[in-house]
Structure 1
Amino acid sequence: MRRINFANKRHMADSKVNDILVFLSVVDTGSFASGGKAFGLSRSTAGKAVARLEDRYGVRLLNRTTRAISLTEDGQRLYHKGQAIQAAIAKADTSMAGADGIPSGTLRIAAADALGRRILMPVVRKFQQEWPQVRFEISFSDTVSHIIKDGFDLAVRVGVNSPDVSLISRTLMTDGPVLCASPAYLKDREAPKNIEHLSTHDLLQFSSVGQRQVWALQDASGFWSNASGRVPLRLDSAEALREAALAGMGIALLPGILVKDDLDAGSLMQVLPDIETGEVPIVALYPHKRFLEPRVRQFIDMLAADMSARR
């Protein structure tokens, strides 16, 4: 097997480095279309960049099928060497941010809708007061985004610890979900006395592509069971579920941090308060980089400090 001469300086010309970075992006995102998109390139242009590398080194870097791509042994070697190049470029970018690593540029964030707004926006305001040179682009959605493929620097999610080894997961806080309903609903229907009684009630549950909420509840004896009942409404938005509960449409299991003000105001009432609903992590997910941009690192630290103060 022919060895790739990574030390040859002619391979390190700008165009060749760019080809390697495109190659890394194709591998990270899993497709030529998405890998090229990260650099403003078409699918075919990204494919040509990888083909130039294969011609240059005289080896095949990727196994290609109609459904997926995977690294060959030589591709793995180039990928790991390319990551070192990428890290060096990221380090140079960091140094250019200032001697103290002053945050600057655009920070792209994907966040869970209602909870993200409540958690994120106060921190965004505070961060921009401290670092006005940072701009934000934020997508609020309860549909889980592909962070690298969609070009995000950071995602804030509820109960999602990604198995993707290219992502780092940092728990910001844990939150206890609350079974709740409006006073009007509980007045019209007999309030449930135990988990089994939920089977006679209307349950409002979360559901989206690849996700369907299951109510795992623990009774006073320590026995865990999945609650069942009539489910007249499934929604892909926690905020919409909250509004449905406020409107008296049924019982919902919602993040405690989302309904705290409603419970305090009496517009929602806790159902089965002695039942244990478990704890759900609120996590920050971001690409695995040796050198994290100052704007990303500083924002995660500020967000974590804010979450810690809420506990």
Structure 2
Amino acid sequence: MQSRDIAKRLPVASDLDIGALRIFVAIAEAGSFVGGGKATGLTRSAAGKALARLESYLGVRLFHRTTRRLSLTTEGHEFYRRSVQLLEDIAEAEASIRQSQLRPRGTLRLTVSEGYGKSKVIPYLATYLENAPDLAVEVSFTDRLVDLVEEGFDLAIRVGLATSNGQYITQVIDRARLGLYASPQYLHKQGVPASLADLVHHQRLIYGLGATSTAWNLPGEDGEPAIVAGGTHARFDSGDAIRVAAVAGLGIALLPSFIVEMDLNTGKLVEVLPENAKSEIAVHAIYPSRRHLSIRTRCFIEGLRRSLR
């Protein structure tokens, strides 16, 4: 009885040929039957026949074929993404059983907040890639929330609020100090605020568009939370754009310290109310909630965390 119960819980067996998956992935990455065949040690004809058998088995066309080019269909794109993940899982399982040293392979696709990515992630990438010669990276710089599964990303690095979607796992990997910053030219023209209450008379550069709240929640002078409202001269969906706007004298910005380090050092920005506007913001690593985190993603998160320390 017990063995039958276990069998019921096992996934349904598939006759899918793993070798055909490798050929399909090779053709997709090479963009041709010739290149795919060469990568797998096959002739063009053999690679084409293997792909035809795979398409027949799946009941879909994986490629659009013309005399000049080969391109993935919509189903082909989805099957390619899943096939790459499956082949990597198999390789890691084999390596783990053999107790061999795991090394990141394939392509790591990252989406990172622009300011944090440029100041913290890019400098770390040099070390990471030097220690992972079989790995390539693709990095998207954006502050917008990204559907990692839908858009095929392995990992997101986000500053501030993280997704609470049960589809993802979130880790805090860093914390940054928030401060108020403005250009010397703006302060000379508009005056230097002496307290948080004075900010109501200044132009504030706001992160977030549309119906997003424009209020700032800051630690008050008595230690209690203070809500700062007032002028909203300009709004942006990029922290780095707010930095550039502050340097240009458009107003006062509330930003993490890592974004403004260089501008503070060169005198393009100065801190406003440094004793009255101290707060922290968390930096998160976010990745899809798979049973097995890929070695390339795990190594990147662990290495980045060490470098930040």
Report the TM-score, using the length of structure 1 for normalisation: 0.71
Pair 249,261 (structure 1): closer, same or farther in 2 beyond 3 Å = same
Contact 2:148 2:156 in 1 (8 A): yes
Pair 1:94–1:210, CA change in 2 (3 A):
farther
Aligned to 2:91: 93
Equivalent residue number for residue 148 of structure 1? 149
Are 1:269 and 2:270 counterparts?
Answer: yes
1:9-88 mapped onto 2 (5 Å cutoff): 11-14=12-15, 38-39=78-79
* Structure 1 residue identity aligned to 2:12: H
Does residue 177 in structure 1 map to residue 178 in structure 2? yes
- CA deviations 1:4-39 (Å, max 9, x no partner) are 996499931235999xxx9xxxxxxxxxxx998532
Segments of 5+ residues of structure 2 without an aligned counterpart are 22-57, 59-73
**Structure whose alpha-carbon radius of gyration is higher:** 2
Structure 2 counterpart of 1:271, which letter? V
Match of 2:288? 287
Specify the code of the residue in structure 1 equivalent to 2:290.
K
The alpha-carbon distance between structure 1 residues 141 and 132, as it changes in their structure 2 partners (threshold 3 A), is same
SS in 2 for 1:296: helix
**Matched-pair contact (CA < 8 Å) for 2:108–2:137:** yes
1:303 corresponds in structure 2 to 304
Does the aligned pair in 1 maintain the 2:181–2:252 contact within 8 Å?
yes
Q: Which amino acid aligns with 1:94?
A: E
Residue pairs, 1:107-118, within 5 angstroms: 107-118=108-119
Aligned residue in 1 for 2:190? 189
The CA RMSD over aligned residues, in Å, is 3.2
Q: Residues 153 and 196 from structure 1, CA distance in 2 versus in 1: closer, same or farther, beyond 3 angstroms?
A: same
Label 1:258 to 1:230 Cα distance change in 2 as closer, same or farther (>3 A). same
Q: Secondary structure at the match of 1:276?
A: coil
Structure 1 distance, partners of 2:11, 2:170, is 38
Give the 3 Å change call, closer, same or farther, for CA 173–137 of structure 1 in structure 2: same
Match runs of 1:122-161 below 5 Å: 122-161=123-162
Amino acid at match of 1:242: R
Kept in 1: contact 2:179–2:279 (CA 8 A): no
C-alpha distance after superposition, 1:20-79 (max 9, x if no partner): xx9xxxxxxxxxxx99853259xxxxxxxxxxxxxxxxxxxxxxxxxxxxxxxxxxxxxx
The match for 1:229 is: 230
Structure-2 residue corresponding to 1:242? 243
C-alpha separation between the residues in 2 aligned to 1:114 and 1:287? 23
In structure 2, the CA distance between the partners of 1:10 and 1:178, relative to structure 1 (3 Å rule), is: closer
Q: Is the 8 A contact 2:215 2:229 kept in 1?
A: no
Give structure 1 regions of 4+ aligned residues with deviation exceeding 6 angstroms. Answer: 87-90
C-alpha change, 1:89 and 1:211, in structure 2 (3 Å) is farther
Number of aligned residue pairs: 247
- TM-score normalised by the chain length of structure 2: 0.71
C-alpha spacing 1:189/1:138, structure 2 compared with 1 (3 Å) = same
Cα displacement (A) at 1:290:
2.9
